[in-house]
Amino acid sequence: MTYCVALKLNAGVVMLSDTRTNAGLDNISTYRKMFFFENPGERVIGIMTAGSLSVTQTALARIHEAIHHDEADETTSIMKAPTMLQIATIIGNTLARTRREIAGQFQDLQASAASASMIVAGQRAGGEMRLFLIYPEGNFIEATDDTPFLQIGEHKYGKPILDRVVRPETSLADAQKAVLLSMDSTLRSNLSVGMPLDLAVIAKDECRVGTMRRIAEDDPQFRAMSAAWSEALRESFIKMPI
């Protein structure tokens, strides 16, 4: 499995993904699930992926190919499309087509074996910053002020902390804490989500990736935060009246 989460705040977007991929419990690998397409200052597009690696890798390769194709135009290239909505549509169509083709290759198995979803975040100069969750069928939903975060993969363990602390006015610094704590809860409760992590921040109107950090298993900062949070929870728990 996978856990990817993105927050859309007044100040920008924060994205976090794990890197664990498994084909069965005895075949575990590390694969990047966060990708950027960037023309700094003009547009930035971040994509996170969950689900069948064969689907997501092929879909991303096709998105990439379409950008560099001789006849790339604004209906096929996410680097030429004029709006984030059209970018999400291109990505959704590519994902859906890839998923259908691969699912067709093993009709005997469950279709879910070839499922995949994506989170797409970004901004074009002059446009709004937007955040989408793209379903396996290519349709998508968008984050709003009421629901400023989107998750794919193993989303349940890490949702309570987000429900409690994330608001559109949350700062980018607090947002990074929130997604890391959400991931920490998921890592502790589910083996199929694993380190290292990829964390990225896109500040509003900058149209470029600001912070981009890979957090390794032995990252002292993340370990300290994880330990401090456990300690804080235990202390709060002990002090809690019954």
29 near 196, Cβ under 8 Å? no
Shorter beta-carbon distance to its own copies: residue 68 or 239: 239
Residue with tokens 């002990």: 238
| Contact partners, residue 198, CB within 8 Å, separation at least 6 | 15, 16, 17, 19, 32, 33, 34, 212, 213, 214, 215
**How many residues in the shown chain lie near its own copies by CB under 8 A?**
38
Do the Cβ atoms of 233 and 161 come closer than 8 Å?
Answer: no
Q: In terms of CB distance, is 98 or 170 closer to its own copies? A: 170
Cα distance between residue 174 and residue 165, in whole Å? 9
Among 8, 15, 157, 183, binds its own copies (CB under 8 A): 157
Nearer to its own copies, 144 or 171 (CB): 171
User: Mask: binding to its own copies, 123-152, rule CB under 8 A, as x and -?
Assistant: ------------------------------
Binding mask 160-189 for its own copies (x = CB under 8 A): xx-xxx-------xx-xxx--x---xx-xx
Nearer Cβ to its own copies (25/240): 240
Q: In this structure, what token pair is assigned to residue 126? A: 């002059």
Site membership for its own copies, residue 24 (CB under 8 A): no
Read off the DSSP letter of residue 189: H
Minimum gap (Å) between residue 19 Cβ and its own copies = 21
Query: What are the DSSP E strand ranges found in the chain?
Result: 3-9, 12-17, 20-22, 28-30, 34-39, 43-51, 116-124, 130-134, 140-142, 149-153, 197-203, 211-215
Q: Which residues bind its own copies (CB under 8 A)?
A: 154, 156-161, 163-165, 173-174, 176-178, 181, 185-186, 188-190, 221, 224-225, 228-230, 232-242
